[in-house]
Structure 1
Amino acid sequence: MNEQDLFYILALQRVEGVGDIMAKKLLSHCGSAEEVFKTKTTQLAAIDGVGATLLKNLKDKSVFEKANQELAFLKANAIKTTSFLDQDYPERLKHCFDGPLLLFQSGNIDLKNKKIISIVGTRQITAYGIEFCRKFISDLAPLNPIIVSGFAYGVDIVAHQLAIEFQLQTIGVVAHGLNQIYPKTHKKYVAAVEQNGGFMTEFWSTTNPDKENFVRRNRIVAGMSEATIVVESADRGGSLITANMANDYNRDVFAVPGRVTDKYSQGCNNLIKTQKANVLTSAADLVYILNWDIQQDSKPVQKQLFVTLDDDEQKVYDYLLKTGKELMDIIALRCDFPIYKISGMLLNMELKGVIRPLPGKLFEAI
């Protein structure tokens, strides 16, 4: 997108009464944002939803001054801007009818990797939530997914930090302009996030982190991701809104179950109970349901001379060495493990390079 196109799209965004959906209608009809301002009123009036008030607002010349000011900010701060028509706009977000007209980005975001998941949850994350996030992200790391979250307190910042720790790209979708950081206490994480991914927003530099902006932000988190994972949530909260949006966009949703007496497991348990989310107990659950190809999509990892297996993994490995290839259900039965546990163990062992999957849900030792 060249500077002139960006200028007119920015101006269109400042027209009162023009939201993302209406802007896309106008662009589709006129061909470009510049042509929207040049098209005759009689022709614009024929577009569904365009009334007298909007026609009058399109004549407001002050929008060009505002567009110039924002354009100057974007250029001065090396902010990358993509429109929903651009090739590097998040692919899945293009299919959301209410997806943002423009996205502003800082850092080193690279969306060539299509494995994008969002991790959300309570701002009051517990030790249980932290432990799950660490195990989940570390197990997924060889598959090199992009981790998206909202850079908020709790689950969000833990997800970003763990993504960085395990050398994964991470994207913080924020509810304000890129001239500031919220919460301010998270400024210390900005450099690391930008080095390992970056920040994304639809909001201008003049926009503060007002309450209503967080709900709008959540649709980007849900819409750009292949799946949304809710780690912990009370019976109400922003993460549940994100999960509902993901469902509306026909995305997979996963929730980490918890004890029925735990406050911050109620939201997750309810998502599972009402069949709005898949149960997530390990990385293997997500890999299986999303049908990710481990062999083709994993990071190239130097083969280890000495692989450390825990006692349970060693038991499974010894069994496969003795018997050769075997069905997962039979492995669980003979090694005396529940099926939900064996699936996670087999994934971990596969990622360690000590076993390999075969057609028909068979596994063998390497």
Structure 2
Amino acid sequence: MKSTLLQQQIALSILRTSGNKKLKTLLDTHDNLENFFSGNTAHDSSNSTRYRFATKQKRAEAMSLAEDYLHFFKDDSIEVLFYKEDNYPQRLLECHDAPVNLFKQGNFNLNTGRVVSIVGTRNITSYGKAICEHLIESFKDKNILVISGLAYGVDVYVHELCIKHGIPTVGVLGHGFHVMYPASHRPISKKMQENGGLISEFLPGTRADKIHFPMRNRIIAGLADATIVVESGTKGGSLITADMANGYNRDVFAFPGTIFDEYSKGCNQLIKQNKAHLINSGAEFLEYMNWNNNSAHKSVETEQIALFDPSTSLTGHEKEIFQFIKKQANVPKDELLFHFQHLSNELFGILLQLEMNDLIVFLPAGTYKCKSY
């Protein structure tokens, strides 16, 4: 029986247990998946220990196991997002540890213009609920996709509010489809698929495991333009997600709380350590991200804004530095110091002036990026 593309993609997730990076390196030596699974690879030699997980025998075994999964994908309308295809989330593709495959259920586009992740403690307080309510209400009619982890507390409350206000929302799972942890969230996971849905990198039937949740957190961080931490203790998954988002050079935001509140200590810590921007409202977040306009009219508004782009008045070294940052999207401070050694005495003064002119912003991850005009 001739194998299908779907079966080959499923087989990759069976092989993936030895690591996404190794598997991608190996796949890059082949023109397509048909060649990878049917032919010999350059690494089939017995002395190639690095790729022993994908010997010809292991690939054949993976293909055989993949056949047993086919009916799950067809019966439950599970879509495969393969990292070499256009439907794969492009933001996640920028991350060095992005999975080879993602599995999708529902009606949503991860490559839409505006994506934000919202995370927080499982022990949500009345203060945290008020923040979530205010935040999600501010997203109405802004064409924003909201990502979270469908866990207890902040996560599920955010998903519920999105459903209430008609905002698309996606839950990233730490297990496969046909499993739901916690089980009480199965009903809301079904509702989410009407305007949003679910994402997992784990094969259907894969049970929740402690090691899966940090893996899930990197997906939450990598799918979004920005991550917002609503409430958090000094330890937990929310801070892991924030650290990962910083590592991916994404914007991180946190709501402050009192010094006496256990579940504000993590947010206060992020802000104090310059790992998150302090925000007091959804309006502040939207202004920072330049998301106040309705993206349905983006092309018209972009043309209008371009007429008033303040960067057009730059000259000399200011223009040189601005153009360098603009081309690279996110530039580490050390890279700027190295590239503009000849301006070492002036560099930080120029950067400060560009910030004051609202042309660039310094991120908590220690990088500079241009603001959008």
* TM-score normalized by the length of structure 2: 0.74
The 3-state SS of whatever aligns with 2:86 is coil
Matches within 5 A, 1:40-55: 40-41=40-41, 43-44=42-43, 51=49, 54=52
CA contact (8 A) 1:258 1:265 kept: yes
Task: Give, in whole Å, the separation in 1 of the partners of 2:20 and 2:61.
Answer: 20
Shift of 1:94: 1.1
Matches within 5 A, 1:17-32: 18-32=18-32
1:232 — aligned with what?
231
1:4 — aligned with what?
4
CA contact (8 A) 1:44 1:55 kept: no
1:323-361 CA distances to partner (integer Å, 9 max, x unpaired)? xxxxxxxxxxxxxxxxxxxxxxxxxxxxxxxxxxxxx99
Shift of 1:30: 1.0
Task: Give, in whole Å, the separation in 1 of the partners of 2:238 and 2:148.
Answer: 10
For structure 2, the residue ranges without an aligned partner over 5 or more in a row are 299-356, 359-373
Shift of 1:164: 1.0
Distance 1:120 1:16, change over 3 A: closer
Q: Is 1:184 aligned with 2:183?
A: yes
CA contact (8 A) 1:142 1:298 kept: no
**Higher deviation after alignment, 272-281 or 71-80:** 71-80
Task: Give, in whole Å, the separation in 1 of the partners of 2:188 and 2:53.
Answer: 45
Q: Is 1:162 aligned with 2:132?
A: no
1:180-217 CA distances to partner (integer Å, 9 max, x unpaired)? 21111112212221112101101001310111111111
The 3-state SS of whatever aligns with 1:199 is strand
Shift of 1:241: 0.4
CA contact (8 A) 2:169 2:196 kept: yes
CA contact (8 A) 1:144 1:298 kept: no
The 3-state SS of whatever aligns with 1:117 is strand
1:331 — aligned with what?
none
Distance 1:58 1:19, change over 3 A: farther
Amino acid of the residue matched to residue 92 of structure 1? Answer: R
CA contact (8 A) 2:143 2:295 kept: no
1:17-71 CA distances to partner (integer Å, 9 max, x unpaired)? 6421112111111122332234435x2269xx95266167442332222111122
For structure 1, the residue ranges without an aligned partner over 5 or more in a row are 300-359, 362-366
Distance 1:295 1:55, change over 3 A: closer
CA contact (8 A) 2:9 2:80 kept: no
Amino acid of the residue matched to residue 112 of structure 2? Answer: N
Task: Give, in whole Å, the separation in 2 of the partners of 1:143 and 1:56.
Answer: 45
1:141 — aligned with what?
140
Moved beyond 6 Å, runs of 4+: none
Task: Give, in whole Å, the separation in 1 of the partners of 2:243 and 2:123.
Answer: 20
Matches within 5 A, 1:1-366: 4-15=4-15, 18-41=18-41, 43-44=42-43, 51=49, 54=52, 57-60=55-58, 61-297=60-296
Shift of 1:293: 4.7
Task: Give, in whole Å, the separation in 1 of the partners of 2:20 and 2:27.
Answer: 11
Distance 1:14 1:203, change over 3 A: same
Distance 1:257 1:230, change over 3 A: same
Amino acid of the residue matched to residue 36 of structure 1? Answer: F
Amino acid of the residue matched to residue 49 of structure 2? Answer: G
Amino acid of the residue matched to residue 202 of structure 1? Answer: E
Task: Give, in whole Å, the separation in 2 of the partners of 1:172 and 1:108.
Answer: 12
CA contact (8 A) 1:79 1:104 kept: yes
Distance 1:297 1:51, change over 3 A: same
Distance 1:195 1:278, change over 3 A: same
Task: Give, in whole Å, the separation in 2 of the partners of 1:17 and 1:241.
Answer: 22
CA contact (8 A) 2:142 2:294 kept: no
CA contact (8 A) 1:16 1:54 kept: no
Task: Give, in whole Å, the separation in 1 of the partners of 2:297 and 2:270.
Answer: 30
Task: Give, in whole Å, the separation in 1 of the partners of 2:106 and 2:191.
Answer: 10
The 3-state SS of whatever aligns with 2:202 is coil
CA contact (8 A) 2:119 2:227 kept: yes
CA contact (8 A) 2:141 2:294 kept: no
Task: Give, in whole Å, the separation in 2 of the partners of 1:213 and 1:67.
Answer: 21
Question: Cα RMSD (Å) of the superposition?
Answer: 2.4
Task: Give, in whole Å, the separation in 1 of the partners of 2:44 and 2:63.
Answer: 22
Task: Give, in whole Å, the separation in 2 of the partners of 1:16 and 1:214.
Answer: 17
**Higher deviation after alignment, 134-143 or 259-268:** 134-143
